[in-house]
């Protein structure tokens, strides 16, 4: 009975920590969406709001990390429970980086608003918002997959990340064309190149989350594997 | 006696895993140096060598991660030992990313060699090599600090990372000037902007290593702290 009781408490701790990861995930997802809203509307105010939330995300990372080393020390988990805690540690590092990318975009918006933006840059900004929609949807799917430990959904994330990479390549070519046609847009175009890169990285982080989920459920480390090899591992 | 024996074995396992982290660190440090050599000499061959080592670095990351979850499950470490293993997990993730940055630079070199590089870009390439020297020195110092668990040296790393960030800002401004003066260099200048960014990130990874060392020794998570606050924690 005592064992059963302990194990129920432990389960509660594990699901508690998973919920906080999802909360952190929801927060950084909202940050990215807000940063892109700030960009699309050249709103310095919204950019400020994104930057104000950075501390909260950082604090969450540090707290969750501290909780999970506490759980490992007290509960001495093995097998799948240990894998889950290790995956949480990697996942929150990725989520914190997503928050960093959102902050990076927000700071770029502030600079663009201060220096004044050529109306020519409206078109690439629309493309950036499209790339960002893809990345945010991918991040949300990865968080859903984490909530349910759903390897099928995790696999979808791995497959769809390519689309964001292609979007990035297309955007980069377009921005280079703008710069060549009108060298006065070079400085702000470079800013947008970095925004495009930040969004592409959000997709990479979603992919890392998906790999961590497969590791928890299947016990297989599928990083650096081809999608085909991952499909085999998940089946 | 049995306990003593077990603990000695455990110590051997811990120092074994630390040594492999240092080996992985040495490897990615060499990769960055080689990638920059390839850039400075526009050598497609050296760039290929960098790319060939990517698999080895990735394999090392996966193996060390697997070893350390094995050690946690078997040894059920607490306190400083557990912190060391958690720090190893974060450190190898950073080192793998350093390897990624080296590969990114190597692929850029291949593209530049294929498309032909304007002689005007020789000057920024020299500046990039200087930025890279700083980043490689910082990474080496972080690895030294890790080998000795030397928080004083770790603190130096945190302080010196700023210098690389400033180098990056200067380089970016210079590259923008080149692009404006000669729009034909835009495409390859953008490539160099990404190289500069990759080098700057090597510095960031060295900083993350330094923070992990302070966490192991002092038990304090100093991420997102000001340098002054970290100084207090280390004292």
What is the full DSSP assignment across chain B? -HHHHHHHHHHHHHHHHHHHHHHHHHHHHHHHHHHHHHHHTT-HHHHHHHHHTHHHHHHHHHHHHHHHHHHHHHH---HHHHHHHHHHHHHHHHHHHHHHHHHHHHHHHHHHHHH---GGGHHHHHHHHHHHHHHHHHHHHHHHHHHHT-HHHHHHHHHHHHHHHHHHHHHHHHHHHHHHH-GGGHHHHHHHHHHHHHHHHHHHHHHHHHHHHHHHHH----TT--HHHHHHHH-
Q: How many domains does chain B have?
A: 1
Note the pLDDT tens digit of each residue in B178-230. Answer: 999 999 999 999 999 999 999 999 999 999 999 999 999 999 999 999 999 99
Give the span between the Cα atoms of B135 and B98, in whole angstroms: 11
Give the span between the Cα atoms of B165 and B131, in whole angstroms: 9
Q: Pick the residue of A176, A185, A201 with the most B CBs within 10 A to test the interface with B by mutation.
A: A176
Q: Pick the residue of B224, B225, B226, B229 with the most A CBs within 10 A to test the interface with A by mutation.
A: B224
Domain that holds residue A34: 2-234
Residues of B with CB under 8 A from a CB of A: 55, 58-59, 61-62, 65-66, 69, 72-73, 76-79, 82-83, 86, 89-90, 93, 172, 176, 179-180, 183, 186-187, 190, 193-194, 197, 221, 223-224
Q: How far is A59 from chain B (nearest CA, A)?
A: 9
> How many other CB atoms are found less than 10 A from the CB of residue B17?
19
Residue with tokens 């080592």: B53
Predicted ipTM? 0.92
Q: With an 8 Å Cβ cutoff, are B62 and A223 in contact? A: yes
Give the span between the Cα atoms of B222 and A195, in whole angstroms: 28
Nearest-5° angle of CA A51, CA A57, CA A59? 120
Residue of A59, A79, A190 lying closest to B176 (CB–CB): A190
Residue of B55, B66, B82 lying closest to A72 (CB–CB): B82
Give the span between the Cα atoms of A50 and A110, in whole angstroms: 11
> Are B164 and B131 spatial neighbours (Cβ–Cβ below 8 Å)?
yes
For residue B53, report the phi and psi dihedrals to the nearest 5 degrees.
Answer: -85, -5
pLDDT at B1: 47
Average pLDDT over residues A25-45: 97
pLDDT at B2: 52
Residues of A with CB under 8 A from a CB of B: 55, 58-59, 61-62, 65-66, 69, 72-73, 76-79, 82-83, 86, 89-90, 93, 172, 176, 179-180, 183, 186-187, 190, 193-194, 197, 221, 223-224
* Measured CA distances, B37 to B40, B102, B107, B111, B232 (Å): 5, 11, 13, 15, 39
Q: How confident is the model at residue B120 (pLDDT cuts 50, 70, 90)?
A: confident
Note the pLDDT tens digit of each residue in A51-109. Answer: 999 999 999 999 999 999 999 999 999 999 999 999 999 999 999 999 999 999 999 99
> Are A158 and A226 spatial neighbours (Cβ–Cβ below 8 Å)?
no
| Residue A182: strand, helix, or coil | coil
Q: How confident is the model at residue A194 (pLDDT cuts 50, 70, 90)?
A: very high
Q: Which residues contact B1 (CB under 8 A, 6 or more apart)?
A: none
Q: Which residues contact B177 (CB under 8 A, 6 or more apart)?
A: none
pLDDT at A122: 80
Q: How confident is the model at residue B138 (pLDDT cuts 50, 70, 90)?
A: very high
pLDDT at A1: 46
Mean pLDDT of chain B: 94
The domain spanning residue B189 has which CATH number? Answer: 1.20.58.220
Note the pLDDT tens digit of each residue in A119-168. Answer: 777 878 999 999 999 999 999 999 999 999 999 999 999 999 999 999 99
Torsion sign across C-alpha atoms A2, B69, A202, A160: negative
Average pLDDT over residues B162-190: 94
pLDDT at A4: 63
Give the span between the Cα atoms of A224 and A222, in whole angstroms: 6
pLDDT at A121: 79
Within 13 Å and on the Cβ side, how many CA atoms surround B93? 21
Note the pLDDT tens digit of each residue in B86-95. Answer: 999 999 999 9
Q: Which residues contact A94 (CB under 8 A, 6 or more apart)?
A: A205, A208, A209
Q: Which residues of A touch B83 (CB under 8 A)?
A: 69
Mean pLDDT of chain A: 94
Q: With an 8 Å Cβ cutoff, are B76 and A76 in contact? A: yes
And the tokens for B71? 């050690």
Q: How far is A148 from chain B (nearest CA, A)?
A: 23
Q: B44-52 and B2-40 helices cross at what angle (nearest 10)? A: 160
């Amino acid at each position: 009975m005592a064992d059963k009781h302990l194990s129920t408490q432990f389960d509660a701790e594990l699901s508690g920590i998973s919920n906080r990861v999802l909360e952190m995930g929801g927060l950084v997802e909202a940050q990215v969406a807000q940063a892109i809203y700030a960009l699309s509307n050249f709103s310095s105010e919204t950019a400020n709001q994104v930057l104000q939330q950075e501390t909260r995300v950082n604090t969450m990372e540090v707290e969750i990390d501290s909780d999970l080393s506490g759980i490992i020390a007290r509960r001495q988990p093995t097998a799948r429970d240990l894998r889950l805690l290790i995956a949480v540690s990697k996942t929150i590092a990725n989520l914190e980086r997503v928050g960093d990318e959102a902050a990076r975009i927000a700071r770029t918006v502030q600079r663009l608003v201060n220096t004044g933006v050529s109306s020519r840059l409206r078109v690439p900004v629309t493309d950036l918002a499209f790339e960002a929609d893809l990345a945010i949807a991918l991040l949300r799917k990865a968080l859903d997959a984490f909530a349910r430990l759903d390897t099928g959904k995790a696999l979808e994330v791995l497959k769809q990340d390519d689309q964001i990479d292609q979007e990035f390549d297309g955007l980069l070519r377009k921005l280079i064309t703008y710069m060549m046609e009108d060298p006065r847009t070079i400085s702000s175009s470079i800013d947008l190149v970095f925004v495009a890169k930040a969004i592409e990285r959000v997709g990479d982080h979603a992919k890392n989350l998906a790999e961590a989920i497969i590791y928890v459920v299947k016990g297989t480390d599928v990083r650096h594997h081809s999608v085909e090899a991952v499909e085999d591992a998940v089946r």
